[in-house]
Structure 1
């Protein structure tokens, strides 16, 4: 069947904003990193963002021909209009039963549509009343069984081989074990989820960036930034060689940049292992500016960098010759190249939002070239950000 598209002006402002986010989740380059921000700007929390992500993953897995256009397209496809109709119907329901038009959908997809519709209703985002197109399809006519989207790779059992303290507030953990024989790291800044021992239904898991993976010894190294009251932080302080853990992954990662341009890297303590892994693999000719916020001078770590990489350390508690500063403040006033470049940023979620807005609005960065991930969120345990991959 030939492709059918319409003017996006047929959609309400809410639908247009939602479409932009849904499309970004299935697009290319750094666009998926923007989807979470688009949804947060509409009033959705991180768990709801992942519900929309799972919806798109499931649809595209079941029907790769489902027509999601580019994030900035001025058109809308028939498939997209029918998806909006399904979400609109679900958002206006008070019960868990979906309208008759969706009765033919697999249970997993019905559940996801309903979950996303509930999120729309709770966020107070009225969807336009519309019927599915009679000459189209409500959603993909999926006849085969659809499995739920699995976000984690299979679990691997590992042991602690070594423990180090590169700075007072960081513990470096080296893991090994037979299960890592088939483990592979494809990109710098990929992350794993680490699970403490315990009953499966009670296991505590947190995401950590892979600082290094020794492909010969099959040993994986990651850092834990210590903070009061965190279960992984508490474990790291009492951990011993021989302790057993489980890990899942890897996922995410730094996918590279335009080598003819320049690169901005910025992070706080939690993103430092990612930047350490990234700078090791950058081409020598690339101009790079790195900004790293840590507590004080004692938290500085050695970074192996190329000659064209400039590193600025920022101390939020100040030092003998440097006042207390924050990552967002320093970036706001630091001179950067005038031409548009690429940016990779990882820090606390609200800080990331402020920096992302600053780069796009005041610094002239292009939307698809800013990768900004909230590695943690103040007041929230086990924060998940779609931009982290």
Structure 2
């Protein structure tokens, strides 16, 4: 996002935790607020942003420079035990007057830095966001063409906030087939969706996540509508790749009409994934 800051599409925002609410055994909703969020402009759907969090014992995230392209290099130069924890998240909802953002966190069993912060977050805790100031920004991935006949959404719990945002954005009479895998039955949420959307909840329970979870099997067995589809898949990287192969190779979906994103990878920690992304960004 360095060049986008220079071009004026993104900027940094200081914010504070207003409140926290558990949505289920593995999901917590953090509501952020602050005067600077008046300029934050979400494009809705699966709008992502970068969230910077403090380490335990810090009163605020350590971001030494927020100016232009230099911020990333300055952040990288700080010891990783001190510099702000950086993660990508989805805006679940945005409200005005007062300016508030809801961000849903999946609480993984290993409780990495971001999950640990979310589990203990309380009013007044300080964070920094790097997000859009224009609605039509490149951090919105869900973009079905105008001639789409129906939409397929497939996700695990980590992408559930994006699924909720997408369903609320869809026009009222959009045909949609939605498959969401969650760890426990208590993680199932009430989602606002078009009348013609069919939502299938898949409870993992003792099954392993990823390719061995119920999501891939359910879609392979599903009878899908006719017509031109647009698919959006997000969640564990291995399952996302397998689903994309199935849709393109076995179902005949146009690969250009299958949006996909690996939010996490089985057997890999948040820190390992971040290290890979940083290496790719500077390689």
Give the structure-2-normalised TM-score: 0.77
Q: Which runs of 5+ in 2 are unaligned?
A: 55-60, 64-77, 133-137, 278-283
Q: Distance in 2 between matches of 1:355 and 1:340?
A: 18
Q: Which runs of 5+ in 1 are unaligned?
A: 1-53, 55-147
Of the three residues 197, 202, 206, the one matched with 1:314 is 202
Of the three residues 33, 38, 53, the one matched with 1:196 is 53
1:139 counterpart residue number: none
- Between Structure 1 and Structure 2, the one with more strand by share is 2
| Structure 1 residue 215 corresponds to structure 2 residue 102 | no
Measured against aligned partners, the alpha-carbon deviations of 1:254-279 in whole angstroms (never above 9, x if no partner) come to 22343551100110001100010111
Greater relative contact order, per chain length (Cα 8 Å cut-off, separation 6+): 2
Deviation at 1:338, TM superposition (A): 3.6
Give the structure-1-normalised TM-score: 0.57
Equivalent residue runs for 1:77-156 within 5 Å = 149=3, 153-156=10-13
Deviation at 1:296, TM superposition (A): 1.8
Measured against aligned partners, the alpha-carbon deviations of 1:54-103 in whole angstroms (never above 9, x if no partner) come to 9xxxxxxxxxxxxxxxxxxxxxxxxxxxxxxxxxxxxxxxxxxxxxxxxx
1:252 counterpart residue number: 139
2:73 counterpart residue number: none
> Quick check: 2:144–2:230 contact (8 Å CA) kept in 1?
no
SS in 2 for 1:186: coil
Q: Distance in 2 between matches of 1:380 and 1:257?
A: 35
Equivalent residue runs for 1:1-389 within 5 Å = 149=3, 153-197=10-54, 198-200=61-63, 201=78, 202-227=83-108, 228-250=110-132, 252-253=139-140, 254-258=142-146, 260-317=148-205, 325-378=213-266, 379-381=268-270, 383=273
Number of residue-to-residue matches in the alignment: 236
Compared CA separation, residues 317 and 352, structure 1 to 2 (3 A): same
> Quick check: 1:187–1:255 contact (8 Å CA) kept in 2?
no
> Quick check: 2:15–2:32 contact (8 Å CA) kept in 1?
yes
> Quick check: 2:51–2:130 contact (8 Å CA) kept in 1?
yes
> Quick check: 1:259–1:286 contact (8 Å CA) kept in 2?
no
Q: Distance in 2 between matches of 1:344 and 1:283?
A: 16
Task: Please provide the CA RMSD for this pair.
Answer: 2.4
Compared CA separation, residues 283 and 301, structure 1 to 2 (3 A): same
- Between Structure 1 and Structure 2, the one with more helix by share is 1
